[in-house]
């Protein structure tokens, strides 16, 4: 994808890894304002810097014939600097601090995963659904700061948000860039409006029967894609192991496309030595989710789907009408209540 009128991104440029390095786009607040955003990454593909510039004269061709020449932000007659974001990361690639224009903006707060943020010395905490999507943010006094609902592909539902811009982390806990409306996953950027990736799957050779732009094999309710490389769903992941192409796990696909990775799971569709496993395409997926227990969605038959739908209707029939009260109802019933999935 090199342009996207739906999200007002007129020009998109990539590096050799298919990571976005430059965007020309209209501002969402003022249609006539043109912005350029540039991204820098480390050797592992983690985003470490974001620069934003604004065009200060008119008219301007939003679809220039020679973008690299006409988008020269060093020409201060036409462009002005707006903002610089720097991402400080640990050795695993996790964000540890975010700097804006040279000063600390916020610190993520971690438990088993990211549970909140510290901004202006004020802690905020995230409430998430079974996919890890941030559904509500509360402060240390348990007062609601922001909230949002999503459709199945992660797009925000109209009239189902409350101060949603207070948190940049949205669908499956990924950062949604305000300037492009894309979610940054690591290996790729995702467009929740259409439920597709903006660039091809780096592991497309391992699944030649699927489009390289698909998100979670068109199963976004049950699966996640941790880094933009591999979709997976499981519960009780207690062991990660790389099974070389031999013995029980050897199959023609391994011979063609290389070794397969497996995550131990009670719900896995492969059995070996008395344990069940889910297949995964990348070592990065299984390493990241060792000893991880957040996703539980095993609705693979029509009867189970019907049963879940009936249970959900029963659980929500007494929910309050007010939007803010709805979120507190969900928080109350999510753990051990009517909306607990386990």
- The answer to whether residues 271 and 289 touch, using CB atoms and an 8 Å cutoff, is no
Residues in the chain: 342
Range of the domain at 128: 9-197
Question: Which tens digit of pLDDT belongs to each residue from 156-214?
Answer: 998 888 888 878 899 999 999 988 889 999 999 999 999 999 898 888 877 778 888 99
pTM value surpassing 0.85: no
Spatial distance between the Cα atoms of 36 and 26, rounded to a whole number of angstroms: 9
Inform me whether the pLDDT recorded for 215 exceeds 70.
yes
Residue 281 has pLDDT above 80, yes or no: no
Domain end marker among 197, 232, 261 = 197
Kindly report the average pLDDT of the chain as a whole number.
76
SS (H, E, C) 193-211: CCCEECCCCCCHHHCCCCC
Residue 292: per-residue pLDDT:
43
In a domain, 116, yes or no: yes
* Residue whose entry in the numeric block shows the structure tokens 């397969």: 260
* pLDDT value of position 100: 94
Structural domain includes residue 4: no
In a domain, 223, yes or no: yes
Q: Rounded to an integer, what distance in angstroms lies between the CA atom of residue 290 and that of residue 286?
A: 6
- Please tell me the predicted confidence (pLDDT) of residue 340: 60
* 82 and 190 belong to one structural domain: yes
What average pLDDT does this structure show over 275-304? 54
* Tokens (6 digits) for 153: 């592909």
């Amino acid at each position: 994808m090199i342009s996207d009128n739906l999200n007002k991104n007129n020009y998109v440029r990539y590096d050799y890894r298919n990571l976005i390095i430059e965007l020309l786009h209209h501002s969402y607040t003022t249609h006539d304002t043109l912005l350029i955003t540039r991204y820098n990454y480390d050797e592992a593909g983690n985003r470490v810097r974001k620069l934003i510039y604004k065009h200060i004269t008119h008219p301007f061709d939003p679809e220039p014939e020679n973008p690299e020449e006409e988008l020269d932000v060093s020409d201060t007659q036409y462009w002005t600097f707006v903002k610089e974001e720097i991402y400080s990361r640990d050795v695993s690639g996790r964000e540890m601090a975010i700097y804006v224009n040279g000063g600390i903006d916020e610190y993520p707060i971690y438990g088993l995963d990211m549970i909140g943020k510290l901004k202006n010395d004020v802690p905020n905490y995230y409430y998430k659904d079974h996919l890890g999507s941030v559904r509500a943010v509360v402060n240390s006094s348990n007062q609601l700061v922001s909230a949002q609902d999503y459709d199945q592909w992660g797009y925000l539902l109209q009239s189902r948000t409350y101060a949603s811009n207070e948190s940049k982390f949205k669908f499956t806990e990924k950062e949604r860039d305000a300037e492009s409306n894309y979610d940054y996953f690591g290996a790729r950027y995702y467009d929740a409006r259409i439920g597709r990736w903006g660039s091809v799957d780096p592991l497309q050779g391992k699944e030649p029967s699927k489009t390289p732009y698909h998100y979670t094999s068109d199963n976004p309710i049950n699966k996640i894609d941790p880094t933009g490389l591999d979709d997976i769903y499981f519960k009780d992941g207690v062991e990660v192991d790389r099974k070389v192409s031999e013995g029980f796990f050897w199959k023609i696909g391994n011979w063609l496309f290389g070794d397969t990775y497996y995550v131990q799971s009670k719900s896995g569709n492969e059995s070996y030595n008395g344990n069940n496993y889910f297949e995964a395409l990348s070592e990065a997926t299984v390493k990241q989710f060792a000893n991880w227990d957040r996703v539980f969605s095993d609705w693979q038959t029509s009867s189970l789907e019907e049963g879940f739908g009936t249970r959900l209707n029963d659980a929500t029939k007494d929910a309050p009408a007010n939007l803010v009260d709805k979120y507190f109802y969900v928080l109350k019933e999510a753990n051990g209540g009517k909306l607990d999935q386990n």
